[in-house]
Amino acid sequence: MKRTSLPLQRREFILALGGAAAWPLAAGAQQPAKLPTIGYLGSGTRASQRPWVAAFGQRLGELGWIEGRTVAIEYRWAEGLPERLAEIAAEFVRLKVDVILASGTEAALAAKQATAVIPIVFPIAGDPVGIGLVASLTRPGGNVTGLSNQVVDLAAKRVEILREVLPALSRLAILANAGHSVGALEIGEIHAAGRTLGFEVVSLEIRRTEDIAPALESLKGGVEALYVVGDPLLNFNRIRINTFALAARLPTIFASREYLEGGGLMSYGPSYPDMNRRAGNYVDKILRGATPADLPVEQPTKFDFVVNLITARALGLEVPPTLLARADEVIE
């Protein structure tokens, strides 16, 4: 029996039908939709900012954002190196993350320079209006919002606390990162407080880890206490700083409890874990469609005053009972 071949057009039609029949199977085998992605731009190390990360993650979970299930988080750490902040911010832009959590003033500035489109949330920033992060606290404008840590406003309060422990204080040293955007403002406030309280202030400015030891060595017993201006670089080196201060028998005061690791004496400032927790509220709203321009910058509501009595005893200092009574935490 003679075998006849199908006309060309009919064969193409049947092949097309066969391909169409496979479409639903191919669609069913596709990967699930991409999870919303947060780029976590850490200014320090994961170890140094572990309480911040935990507080942020806990709040996200309470709001229904479970890492790996309903949201993806890409963590990157600058380890106190300013140049790494710009590199990481650029990487997040390439990854097209949905929102950047910029942990700290310099991290927020780096993220803002990298993108004017991707929403940016800062859990901690000093003077966000003055340094140009936002147009105003009530109406941030642009793609950036978050929480101000009032770092400059609290400088005089820290100096007053230090004076209560050292009533005869006559010469105070300040250790600050000259590259930190709000450091100069805080230094100015400390100098003003010194003039009011009647003691001299000596400024030590550094720009990298290698500068810290020579700066501290230059004191040579000429001061009676050390005020450390908070920033990622100095936080990264907090154990190094506290080791020197203990050896030199210098009482220290810092902006947050995290800096007391390694033997710091006291800290006073906003609760950074609490601020990172509240940053989760911003990220939640943005992932659900809000724009940073419409989310006002908030102020800290929880402040922590911590005294390390172990260090006080090592330095031979007696902390007044009235001061201890005001402490939120006493390390013994």
Is pLDDT of 75 > 80?
Answer: yes
> How confident is the model over 238-295, as pLDDT tens digits?
999 999 999 999 999 999 888 887 899 999 999 999 999 999 999 999 999 999 999 9
Hey, what domains does the chain have and what are their CATH numbers?
A: 37-149+272-302 (3.40.50.2300), 155-270+304-331 (3.40.50.2300)
Report pLDDT digits (tens) over 205-227.
Answer: 999 899 999 999 998 788 999 99
| Residue 112 token pair | 């803002």
Answer for the pair 172, 225: CB distance below 8 angstroms, yes or no.
yes
Is the model's pLDDT at 25 over the cut of 60? no
Residue 142, amino acid: G
Is residue 15 scored above 70 in pLDDT? no
Could you give the CA distance from residue 71 to residue 60 in angstroms, rounded to a whole number?
9
Give the number of residues written for the chain. 332
pLDDT on residue 232: 82
Entry pTM: 0.81
Give the pair of three-digit tokens for residue 46: 């994961």
Tokens of 227: 């005020």
Please determine, for residue 3, whether its predicted confidence score (pLDDT) is greater than 80. no
What is the pLDDT at residue 19?
46
Q: How far is residue 220 from each of residues 11, 54, 96, measured CA to CA in Å?
A: 93, 40, 51
Amino acid at 244: F
According to the model, what pLDDT value does residue 181 have? 73
Q: What's the confidence (pLDDT) of residue 164?
A: 95
Residue 329 β-bridge partners: 306
Q: Where are the alpha helices (DSSP H) in the chain?
A: 8-28, 50-62, 82-95, 105-114, 155-165, 183-197, 212-217, 232-236, 238-247, 272-287, 309-314, 321-326
